[in-house]
């Protein structure tokens, strides 16, 4: 974050998100130029190869400028946006009418319609010109710049994937402005101040460096005036003229072209098909959106047109629809959707307390707590009453729940940054490694007995569940110490093989956005209890998008638990530059022939699991893989872990 010497505007930059992250991609803007934001309010989402995270606003004020558009990749430190005070927004808007650099550029453009193109040109101008623009706006009260923050030590750039606010929208401090994606993170960038989005500097899908200015936030009231004054002269440069509150300039129908681009990227759920064709209708709903209050009879048709278009942003300061995914629903960030899913909260039943009725994390958590309280009360009082119908309950209970068709059927959506990264890495791994998969069947009955005796006490003592995975992880790191080839990395170009001194164990975690692999550093130094707590902590934070890029890098071997969904066997793909990955299948009970010391061979019901090792034949031979799996199998079947749990 930095402040201009001539103004009090604040740059929002892309922060360092990890030692190995040098850049990030803007996945979604949660605020638009002109929106008011509060301190620490999410401005945008940024994605890197390993982390999806929100970028908060460093100051309260108004989003004056957006420098990095959605899907733009920028380096750490690049300016994503500019945040300023509401009073500064007036200067920023009034300045263009005099000999300001911004109107000059806008007037010089022969095609004012593609406002997003004008924004892109501004973002790509040489340093002196943008500096002049910002200084001029700031000297007259320019707003706060929203910059791309550092999303990790190794992240140097990010891509703006989606703007959640448009020019003219009101924002509060910490309210999300946009989403940003990097190779490791998809996150929201919040507004640093409360105010109005005055300018968007970076269009969606544009990649900018950390520190790049993404937008400018300033005074909401001044922004409105500035929109009126600057509308005829430079509506392409001043997309906040699409406030539609003024609805007076002829260029305003063109300025929403920026909104059209944003909308097309904003609605990646079910409205993609209608976004591209929505450019022409946009001017109609934008100016009419506020009118129904004064002239309801004349607006039914306009409102119907507006619904499929996501044009709530027109009533910038008061309408709850600026971030709507469709005409009726308030936009909900991916993080909030994920949180609602984890807590089994129906977002349709949640009343948002954010700007324009936006549903925030606090609303979801409050709804979850209310549901828990209601459930507890229901168990306490109605418990006796259901006793009577309980006799009839078994009959309806037999009916299997019907499967509901997915709403994704018949739709097309843009691949997320994370999905693209996963696809790229998986294909690269298959092209680089000579992959084979070996499988063994393991009897985990002894571990099942230990776990049954120890899990309740362990849960009470450590606060984490004692699953089978920590036992498998412990046996795995022990085997890796004996067979370092499976824990090695290979560099064919340099002709070198590296044997790490430690076992850094990656644990694949299924998230709403895709598969991520947080790493337990120095896993070989942990006991089963330590591994259990580490696995639980990393899995929870990964699903909550709270894991850091450093925690998603540096692994030397990976375990993936595909058996959690009932899969018996699979052939996992190696996580480069590693040379091995272990897959754990579903645990099933079945009859097995075992050797009894007294009865000889007998058939008994045992807890069985398949373990599959995919390995790189460039480094690991089949015999090496077999020895590794045999050692792992023997350690698990012996089940000599009871001493740690006192059983």
Per-residue pLDDT tens digits for 197-247? 999 999 988 888 888 999 999 986 654 444 433 333 333 344 444 443 433
pLDDT higher than 50, residue 294:
no
Confidence of residue 467 (pLDDT cuts 50, 70, 90): very high
Q: Please tell me which residue, 30 or 154, carries the higher pLDDT value.
A: 30
- Which tokens belong to 373? 């309280």
What sign for the dihedral angle of Cα 278, 281, 284, 290?
Answer: negative
pLDDT higher than 70, residue 111:
no
Query: What's the pLDDT at 416?
Result: 85
Beta-carbon contacts of residue 108 (< 8 Å; ≥ 6 apart): none
Rounded CA gap, 144 and 69, in Å?
Answer: 17
Domain 433-644 is found in CATH 3.40.50.300 = no
Q: Please tell me which residue, 647 or 4, carries the higher pLDDT value.
A: 647
pLDDT higher than 50, residue 86:
yes
Rounded CA gap, 289 and 305, in Å?
Answer: 10
CATH level 3 topology of 12-84: OB fold (Dihydrolipoamide Acetyltransferase, E2P) (2.40.50)
Q: Please tell me which residue, 322 or 605, carries the higher pLDDT value.
A: 605
Query: What's the pLDDT at 518?
Result: 95
Intervals of CATH 3.30.559.10 along the chain: 433-644
- Which tokens belong to 285? 């709903």
Query: What's the pLDDT at 22?
Result: 83
Q: Which residues are catalytic?
A: 617, 621
**Candidate from 141-145, 328-332, 449-453, 562-566 with smallest mean pLDDT:** 328-332
Pick the most confident of 75-89, 157-171, 251-265, 496-510.
Answer: 496-510
What CATH number does domain 157-216 carry, 3.30.465.10, 1.10.4080.10, 2.40.30.10, 2.40.50.100?
2.40.50.100
How large is the average pLDDT for residues 355-374? 77
How large is the average pLDDT for residues 122-141? 37
Query: What's the pLDDT at 503?
Result: 97
- Which tokens belong to 613? 């090792």
Q: Please tell me which residue, 323 or 172, carries the higher pLDDT value.
A: 172
Q: What is the pLDDT of residues 135-151, one digit of tens each?
A: 333 333 468 999 988 87
Q: What is the pLDDT of residues 33-60, one digit of tens each?
A: 988 888 888 899 888 776 778 888 988 8
- Assign 3-class secondary structure to 43-69: EEEEECCCCEEEEECCCCEEEEEECCC
Find out whether 31 and 37 touch, Cβ atoms under 8 Å: yes
Query: What's the pLDDT at 526?
Result: 94
- Which tokens belong to 138? 């700031």
Rounded CA gap, 324 and 180, in Å?
Answer: 18
How large is the average pLDDT for residues 302-311? 40
Intervals of CATH 2.40.50.100 along the chain: 12-84, 157-216
Residue closest to 614 by CA, chosen among 604, 628, 601 = 628
Confidence of residue 330 (pLDDT cuts 50, 70, 90): low
Q: What is the pLDDT of residues 412-438, one digit of tens each?
A: 998 888 888 899 999 999 999 999 999
**Candidate from 201-215, 359-373, 377-391 with smallest mean pLDDT:** 377-391
Q: Please tell me which residue, 100 or 366, carries the higher pLDDT value.
A: 366
pLDDT higher than 60, residue 297:
no
Query: What's the pLDDT at 630?
Result: 97
Q: What is the pLDDT of residues 562-610, one digit of tens each?
A: 998 899 999 999 999 999 999 999 999 999 999 888 899 999 999 999 9
pLDDT higher than 90, residue 517:
yes
Q: Please tell me which residue, 643 or 114, carries the higher pLDDT value.
A: 643
Rounded CA gap, 140 and 84, in Å?
Answer: 12
Confidence of residue 644 (pLDDT cuts 50, 70, 90): confident
Mean pLDDT of the chain: 75
Residues in a beta bridge with 213: 147
Rounded CA gap, 434 and 634, in Å?
Answer: 27
Query: What's the pLDDT at 568?
Result: 96
How large is the average pLDDT for residues 170-184? 84
- Which tokens belong to 360? 């925030």
b/e burial code for range 539-550 (CB count within 10 A of at least 16 → b)? beebbebebbbb
List alpha helices for 493-585, DSSP H.
528-543
pLDDT higher than 60, residue 15:
yes
Query: Would you give the distance in Å from CA 65 to the centre of its chain?
Result: 23
Query: What's the pLDDT at 372?
Result: 80
pLDDT higher than 80, residue 494:
yes
Which residue reads 């095609």 in tokens? Answer: 111
Confidence of residue 158 (pLDDT cuts 50, 70, 90): confident
């Amino acid at each position: 974050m930095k402040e201009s010497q001539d103004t009090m505007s604040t740059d929002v930059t892309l922060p360092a998100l990890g030692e190995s992250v040098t850049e990030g991609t803007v996945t979604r803007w949660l605020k638009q130029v002109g929106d008011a934001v509060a301190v620490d309010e999410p401005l945008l989402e940024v994605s890197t190869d390993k982390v999806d995270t929100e970028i908060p606003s460093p100051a309260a004020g108004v989003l004056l400028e957006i420098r990095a558009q959605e899907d733009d990749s920028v380096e750490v430190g690049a300016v994503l946006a500019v945040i300023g005070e509401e009073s500064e927004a007036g200067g920023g808007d009034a300045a263009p009418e005099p000999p300001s650099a911004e109107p000059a550029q806008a007037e010089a453009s022969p095609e004012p319609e593609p406002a997003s193109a004008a924004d892109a040109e501004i973002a790509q101008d040489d340093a002196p010109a943008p500096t002049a623009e910002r200084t001029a706006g700031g000297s007259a009260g320019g707003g706060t710049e929203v910059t791309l923050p550092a999303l990790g030590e190794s992240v140097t750039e990010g891509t703006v994937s989606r703007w959640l606010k448009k020019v003219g929208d009101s924002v509060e401090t910490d309210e999300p402005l946009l989403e940003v994606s990097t190779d490791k993170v998809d996150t929201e960038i919040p507004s640093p101040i409360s105010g109005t989005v005055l300018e968007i500097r970076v269009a969606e899908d544009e990649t900018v460096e950390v520190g790049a200015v993404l937008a400018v936030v300033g005074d909401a009231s001044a922004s409105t005036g500035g929109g009126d004054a600057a509308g005829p002269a430079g509506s392409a440069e001043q997309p906040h003229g699409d406030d539609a509150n003024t609805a007076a300039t002829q260029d305003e129908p063109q300025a929403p072209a920026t909104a059209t681009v944003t909308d097309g990227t904003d609605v990646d759920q079910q409205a993609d098909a209608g976004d591209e064709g929505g450019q022409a209708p946009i001017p109609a709903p934008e100016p009419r959106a506020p009118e129904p209050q004064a002239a309801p009879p004349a607006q039914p048709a306009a409102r119907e047109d507006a619904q499929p278009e996501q044009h709530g942003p027109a009533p910038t300061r008061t309408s709850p629809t600026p971030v709507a995914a469709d005409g009726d629903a308030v936009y909900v960030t991916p993080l909030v959707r994920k949180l609602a899913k984890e807590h089994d909260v129906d977002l349709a039943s949640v009343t948002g307390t954010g700007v324009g009725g936006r549903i925030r994390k606090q609303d979801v958590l409050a709804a979850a707590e209310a549901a828990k309280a209601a459930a507890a009360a229901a168990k306490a009082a109605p418990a006796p009453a259901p006793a009577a119908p309980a006799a009839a309950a078994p009959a309806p209970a037999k009916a299997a729940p019907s499967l509901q068709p997915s709403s994704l059927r018949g739709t097309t959506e843009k691949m997320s940054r994370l999905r693209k990264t996963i696809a790229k890495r998986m294909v690269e791994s298959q092209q680089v490694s000579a992959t084979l998969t070996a499988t063994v069947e393991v009897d985990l009955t002894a571990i099942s007995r230990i776990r049954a005796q120890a899990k309740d006490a362990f849960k009470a003592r450590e606060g984490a569940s004692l699953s089978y995975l920590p036992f498998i992880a412990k046996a795995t790191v022990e085997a890796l110490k004996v067979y370092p080839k499976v824990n090695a990395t290979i560099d064919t170009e340099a002709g070198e093989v590296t044997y790490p001194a430690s076992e850094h164990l990656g644990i694949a975690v299924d998230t709403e956005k895709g598969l991520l692999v947080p790493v337990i550093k120095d896993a070989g130094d942990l006991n089963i209890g330590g591994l259990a707590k580490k696995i639980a902590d990393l899995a929870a934070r990964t699903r909550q998008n709270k894991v850091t890029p450093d925690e998603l890098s540096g692994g030397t071997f990976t375990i993936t638990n595909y058996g959690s969904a009932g899969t018996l066997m699979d052939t996992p793909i190696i996580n480069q530059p590693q040379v091995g990955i272990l897959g754990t299948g579903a645990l099933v009970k079945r009859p097995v022939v075992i050797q009894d010391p007294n009865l000889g061979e007998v058939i008994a019901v045992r807890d069985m699991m398949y373990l599959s090792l995919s390995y790189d034949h460039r480094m690991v031979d089949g015999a090496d893989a077999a020895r590794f799996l045999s050692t792992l199998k023997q350690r698990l079947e012996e089940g000599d872990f009871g001493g740690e749990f006192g059983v």
